[in-house]
Amino acid sequence: MNSQPHNHPEVYAISPIDGRYKTKTQALSPYFSEYGLIKYRLKIEVGYLLALNKVEPIKLNLTENQINKIQQLVSNYSETDAIRIKTIESTTNHDVKAVEYFMKEKLDAVLNSNQIEYIHFGLTSQDINNSAVPLSILEAMNDIMLPILDEVTNSIKSHATNWASIPLLARTHGQPASPTMLGKELMVFVERLEKQIKTLKSIKIEAKFGGATGNFNAHHVTYPQVDWVEFSNNFISSLGLKRQQLTTQIEHYDELGNLMDTLARIDNILIDFCRDVWTYISFDYFKQQLKAGEVGSSAMPHKVNPIDFENAEGNLGIATAILNHLTNKLPISRLQRDLTDSTVLRNIGVPLAHIMIACSSILKGNGKLLINKDAIEKDLEKNWAVVAEAVQTILRSIGYEKPYEALKSLTRTNEAITKENMHTFIKNLNCEQSIKDRLLEITPHNYTGINPN
C-alpha cells in the first residue's frame, strides 16, 4: 500500500476517537495521548527531584536558577521534547527510563554530577507511572468529565422543569399503566445521575510510590534516618492524590476500579435515558427540530431518525465494556507484579472518550427535542382503562363487594374502554351518589398521583 498522506491524518485513524469523532474527543488528548503521558511522567520526576531538595540529609542545595531550569522541563514541554523522548526510548526500549535520560540530557549543563544522579533516585518505573496516570485521571475528571456529565444532567433537568405539568401515559411491561408526569419521569434520571456523580466526586484517586516492591528498600538503605513514608505521603498529597500505604511494585488499582465502576453505572443510566427518549420519539410524544441540510434517512425523505440518542447508546455501550475490563483486569497481578496492567492502563482514555462522544450526542439530541402535547393527550384519551385502578381502590375503601373483579370484567374485554363506557359503569354502581361523583371526576389526564418537586 502506498504511504499515507498526513495533511488529513484523521481519515487514516483506526479508532473513531482520533478519526471521525476527533473534534469531540481532542480535549482529552493532553491527558491520555502519548504526548500527555510523557508530560505527566515529567511532572512526577520533576516534582520528586524538587521534593528531594528539601530533604535535609541529601543536601542537593539547588540554586534558584537550577530550580527554574528544572521546572521549565514541564512548563516549556513541547512536541519536540516528546519526540526526543520517543527517540531515546527506541534505544532503551523502556519508556520511563527514556524520560530519565532526557532529563539528564537537558540538565547536564545545569546540575553537577552529584545533583543529576538524584533524578529518578531510588524509584522504579511504576512509581512514576502509578503517579502520572492517576494525576492525568484526576485532572481529566475535574477539567473535562465531571463538567460534561453535569451539563448532560442539567440539560435533562431543564426539560423536566419545563415539562413538569404534562401528564403522560405510563407503560409497565409495555402496557398502558397508571398515568404519570413527564417532568417527574425525567427527574428520575436526574436524581440517579446526581447520586452517582456525587459518588464519582467523592472517590479519592490513589497513587503508588514506594520503590521497587513498595518497601522503600533503596531509599531506606541509603538514608535510613529519613522517614520515607511521610516524605512520600506528603509528595503524593501535594499532587492532589492519596498514596497507597501497602503495595507491591504496582498500584493495586482497587479505587481506580471503584471509579471505573461508578462511570459504568452512569453509562447505564444514560443508556436507560436514551432508550426511553428513543421510545417516546417513536410514540410521537417528542418531535425533533429540523436542521437545514441534515438528512434523516438516505432513502425516506420524511424521516427524522433519533440518531443522537442511538449514537450515544452505542458509544456508552463500548465505554462500559472497556470500563468493565479495566475494573476486572487491573487489580489482578501475579505476585509483586506482571506487565499485563501496563498495556491495559494505556487505554483509560478510551472509555472516557466514548463517554464524551455520547454526552455530546445526548446534549445535541436534547437540544432538538420538542414536546408534542397532542400525541400525549390523544394517547391518554385512548386509554381510559387506566382509571380502573383508581375506581377499584376507592371502592375497596368503602367496602364495595369484589371491586377488582368488577373492573376486571369491564376492562378485559376486546372493546376499547372509553370515557362513555367507564362513566356508564360508574353510574350503575350500587353506592352513594357522592362516591359516584368523586369517581366521575377521575380522568387519565388528572389521575397522576403526587408530583414531587
Identity (one letter) of the amino acid at 302? H
Q: How far apart are CA 411 and CA 299, in angstroms?
A: 42
Is 173 considered catalytic here? yes
3-state secondary structure of 222: helix
Is the distance from CB of 375 to CB of 283 less than 8 angstroms?
A: yes
Catalytic residue among 173, 202, 298, 302: 173
Q: Kindly report the number of other CB atoms within 10 A of residue 97's CB atom.
A: 16
Rounded Cα gap, residues 380 and 418, in angstroms: 11
* Helix or strand run (H / E) with residue 152: helix 146-162
* Cell numbers describing residue 392: 377499584
How far apart, in whole angstroms, are the C-alpha atoms of residue 233 and residue 242? Answer: 7
Phi, psi of 107 (to 5 degrees): -105, 10
Which residues neighbour 99 within 8 Å (Cβ) at sequence distance 6 or greater?
38, 41, 42, 45, 85, 128
Per the annotation, the verdict on 297 as an active-site residue is yes
Stretch (H or E) spanning 178 = strand 175-181
Measured CA to CA, the distance from residue 237 to residue 217 in angstroms comes to 21
**Secondary structure (3-state) at 305:** coil
Name the nearest CA neighbour of 311 among 264, 277, 260. 277
Considering only CA atoms, which of 136, 156, 152 is closest in space to residue 36? Answer: 136
DSSP 389-433: HHHHHHHHHTT-SSHHHHHHHHHTSSSPP-HHHHHHHHHTSSS-H
If you write DSSP's letter for every residue of 170-220 in order, what string do you get? EEETTEEEEEEEHHHHHHHHHHHHHHHHHHHHHPPPEE--SSTTSS-HHHH
Using N-to-C axis directions, what is the helix angle for 254-282 and 182-202, rounded to 10°?
Answer: 170
Catalytic annotation, pick one of 15, 237, 297, 397: 297
Number of C-beta neighbours around residue 338 at 10 A: 12
| CA atoms of 230 and 159, how far apart (whole Å) | 50
3-class DSSP assignment, residue 291:
coil
Active site residues: 173, 297
